[in-house]
A = this chain, B = another copy of it.
Amino acid sequence: MTHHLAPGVWGVVATPFAGPSLDVDEASLARLVRHYADIGTSGLTVLGVFGEAARLDAAERRRVLDTVVAAVDLPLVVGVTALSTAPAIEEAEQIRAALGDRLAALMVQVNSPRPEVVTEHLGAVHKATGAPIVVQDYPVSSGVRITTPDLVTVVRELPSAAAVKAEAPPTPAAVAALTGALDVPVFGGLGGLGLLDELAAGAAGAMTGFSCPEGLLACVEAYRVGGYEAARAAYAPYLPLVNFEAQAGIGLAVRKEAIRRRGLIEASGVRPPAPTMPAALGPQLDRHLAATPGALASGEEVR
């Protein structure tokens, strides 16, 4: 169906904050999303967990959306933070109002282990906005665990499904089951830790935050053209940084600092309750960036 998301890489966009007051830094955000457009991502996912959406007020969320819309022409998926229907619709309507036709889909989390509850929730958000729905199964954020068969049921009964974002580890077997049963595209997430295996299991691509989305693109494109071995060769040079950024708890802070050191944003602050990056990791992050293909401009010093 036409509302299915295009395969490839959907960049999950960080929200840059400026200075000690941690205000939304619109200039950095614009620079960051233009970078995504320049490198060839299929689209962007804004206001996701990695975008710290739950840590922004409504005006800030609006400014994030306005900034992104003005900066790039890419298709936009926008995350809904709330797990219950009324506040989810409230967010969804604000997003709809901000983006109009630019909204490719809303990303809404699985909010119950009971498929009929999820179906009603996703259907209500769709009905209120007319927007296609990316179904996000992300237990570490939602606290909700659904079985894969029940998730299949949910997506089958959701004509407006645009994609599934499969982030309940271990993901490779789940992606295989989902892609075997559904014609809706399934994307991997979780920072790209299992991207090779998710592609091999039939994933349409990656939708995740990683400081060098060039690596996700190289992997997905190589898989399309040359299959697993080509993808593996393309992705292996990025995996040291992928794993470094996947560190428990501090992953968001590490990733934002990596983006900063790449010159894509001005400052790397995270809002509490997210913990900051231990200073001891700074030199190692530099080593990673220096060695990761294309992470730093040729001859550039780490900032």
Q: A residues near B, CB below 8 A?
A: 22, 52, 54-60, 82-87, 89-90, 111-112, 117, 121, 142-144, 169-170, 172-173, 176-177, 193-194, 196-197, 200-201, 228-229, 232, 235-237, 239-240, 243-244, 247-250, 271-273, 275, 278, 280-281, 283-284, 287, 290-291
Contacts and interface: CB of A to CB of B under 8 A. Distances in A.
A55 B281 contact: no
A214 B85 CA distance: 33
Given A85-B271, A281-B173, A240 B247 contact: no
A143 B281 contact: no
A173 B228 contact: no
Contact of A280 (B177, B232, B250): B177
A56 B57 CA distance: 16
Given A232-B291, A236-B239, A284-B172, A55 B272 contact: no
Contacts of A90: 57-59
B57 A111 contact: no
19 contacts: A22-B85, A60-B86, A84-B273, A85-B272, A112-B272, A121-B272, A176-B281, A194-B243, A196-B240, A200-B284, A201-B280, A228-B284, A228-B287, A229-B287, A232-B291, A236-B237, A236-B240, A239-B243, A243-B243
B173 A278 contact: yes
A280 B278 CA distance: 36
A56 B193 CA distance: 33
Given A170-B249, A236-B240, A86 B272 contact: no
A41 B237 CA distance: 25
**Max chain B CB contacts within 10 Å: which of A56, A90, A284?**
A284
A169 B273 contact: no
Contacts of A290: 229
A11 B192 CA distance: 28
A197 to B, nearest CB: 6
A110 to B, nearest CB: 9
A172 to B, nearest CB: 6
Contacts of A60: 86
Contacts of A284: 172, 197, 200-201, 228
Nearest to A143: B273
Contacts of A239: 236, 239-240, 243
Q: Which 6 A-B pairs have the closest CB atoms?
A: A55-B84, A170-B247, A57-B90, A239-B239, A173-B278, A236-B236
Contacts of A271: 84-86
B87 A273 contact: no
A112 B200 contact: no
Given A240-B196, A284-B197, A84 B121 contact: no
